[in-house]
Copies of this chain bind each other. A is one copy, B any other.
Amino acid sequence: MKNVLIIGCGLLGSSLLRKISKKKIAKKIFVYEKSKLNISKIKKLKLPGKIVKSLKDAVVNSDLIIFCTPTSEYKKIILKINNFVSPNTIITDIGSSKIESSKIIKKFLKRGIHWTRSHPITGSEVSGPEHGKDNMFEDKWCVLIKDKKTNLKHLKFLNSFWKKVGSKTVIMSSEKHDKIFSITSHLPHLIAYNLVKSAQDFEKILKFNLIKYSAGGLRDFSRIAASNEIMWRDIFFDNKINITKAIDLFIKNLKSFKKDINKKNNKSILKKLIKTKKVRIKIIKLKQDIDKPNFGRD
């Protein structure tokens, strides 16, 4: 690969920038970023790559374009690049939900141009280029989407690209992707936001300083409830059908827990509590988390 263009240089964009530069995966790296604050941070951090003000030249001269913006930015940028992309340009993104944003891409991207979708399973509750790091993708899954119209040559290229960046890759359909991540990522984030919101509401009702005692469990949830709000709004809106199904099952299960508690149904509640324990063991075995108690933070 010769040149790459990173559109959106926040947490993940800047991490890609660092890694591509460090491993010399591309000859030139162009960076397009709309936020003046982020641009000044990138300059201050002396990150590699060339910041471009206009997309034209960077698009024409890039073999690979990676969208690292929230999905709600796609349309605007597609309309800016349509005149400069060629069918050989490999376009991808790092978005967390695929079906809805694919409709935007299909609707606005010039005919004959391919966009092959990626989703690296990584990130953090903090945002911005100052928090990026070159090992962000190391040993993390990157899902590549293969649908009916996926360009297999581009898919192959991206599979190799994400491996170079440090990821383990897996290929699946948009449908399967959006279902899986509605459960393993989107619902957990929504639940965390909702729990923290409920704690805030109770703080108002009770007029107690609750947050002071959050080490009892609440603090765990506050981490992902501090994630970027624009990104998560887009994900919730994009994957709303799957997320709605997930919410419904979650509420059904919560009502069943409530019933167990109110009836002091020992057998039923213990069965649930014992079964959920096994997931932690599985997660650690699959190297999806560290094995130290309390995330090793104490």
Contact = CB atoms under 8 A, between A and B. Distances in A.
Count identical subunits in the complex: 2
Interface string A155-168: 00000000000000
Contacts of A297: 289-290, 292, 295-297
Interface stretch (A31-39, A40-48, A120-128): A120-128
A194 interface: yes
Main secondary structure of the interface of A (DSSP, over half): helix
A237 interface: yes
A221 B188 contact: yes
A100 B39 CA distance: 57
A98 B153 CA distance: 64
Interface of A: 96, 121-122, 124-126, 131, 135, 140-141, 143, 176, 179-181, 183-203, 206, 208, 210-226, 229-230, 232-233, 236-237, 240, 243-244, 246-247, 249-251, 253-255, 257-258, 260-262, 264, 266, 269-270, 272-277, 279-283, 286, 288-290, 292-298
